[in-house]
Homo-oligomer: A and B are copies of this chain.
Amino acid sequence: MTDEAAVARFLYDEAELLDCGAYDRWFALFTEDARYWVPSHPQQTDPAREVSLFYEDPALMHARIGRLRHPRALGLPVRTSHLIGNVRTDGNAPNGDLVVRSRFQMIEFVAEEQRLHGGAVMHHLVADGDSWKIRLKRVDLANAGGVFELLQAFF
């Protein structure tokens, strides 16, 4: 399997864990210093000086998972189906992380309604044995900057 194919497979497996609701195993893919970031617009560079659609460290990701599983959480369950494509390795970040770019579309089915999300994804991956861990997952939604209803699920 070429390296790019291996990376693609890694992204597919990551998405599958979300779609199957295997949040713990998905969570385990992230480094301790990871960030899950959905900027409020594609040009956003600083999560501290502008609001973000999501900006979560592992502790906040963990809390979100906790809510998604809480028996009294409202407006759930949410079922997702990710389609990942256009996977491209794009060199290394200053810290050596492998930079991977991809595009996705995700169908979200919640409260008997189907919605479509999509956009660009950038992963920063750290080698971990014969696989990787995710240090950064940045999702730039096609409709970032628009009006949103609630976004409960991870992209």
Give the interface of A toward B (CB within 8 A). 1-2, 4-5, 9, 12-13, 15-16, 19, 42, 79-88, 101, 103-105, 107-109, 112-114, 116, 118-120, 142-143, 146-147
Contacts and interface: CB of A to CB of B under 8 A. Distances in A.
Give me the 5 closest cross-chain CB pairs, A-B, nearest first: A12-B86, A81-B142, A107-B142, A107-B118, A83-B85
A21 to B, nearest CB: 10
Q: How many copies does the complex hold?
A: 3
Contacts of A9: 4, 88
B114 A107 contact: no
A65 B104 CA distance: 25
Given A19-B103, A81-B120, 20 more contacts: A12-B85, A12-B86, A12-B88, A16-B86, A16-B103, A81-B103, A81-B119, A82-B86, A83-B86, A83-B104, A84-B86, A107-B116, A107-B118, A107-B119, A107-B142, A108-B142, A109-B142, A113-B146, A114-B143, A114-B146
Contact of A142 (B12, B79, B84, B104): B79
Nearest to A90: B16
A101 B143 CA distance: 28
B83 A103 contact: yes
- Give the one of A4, A86, A113 with max B CB within 10 A: A86
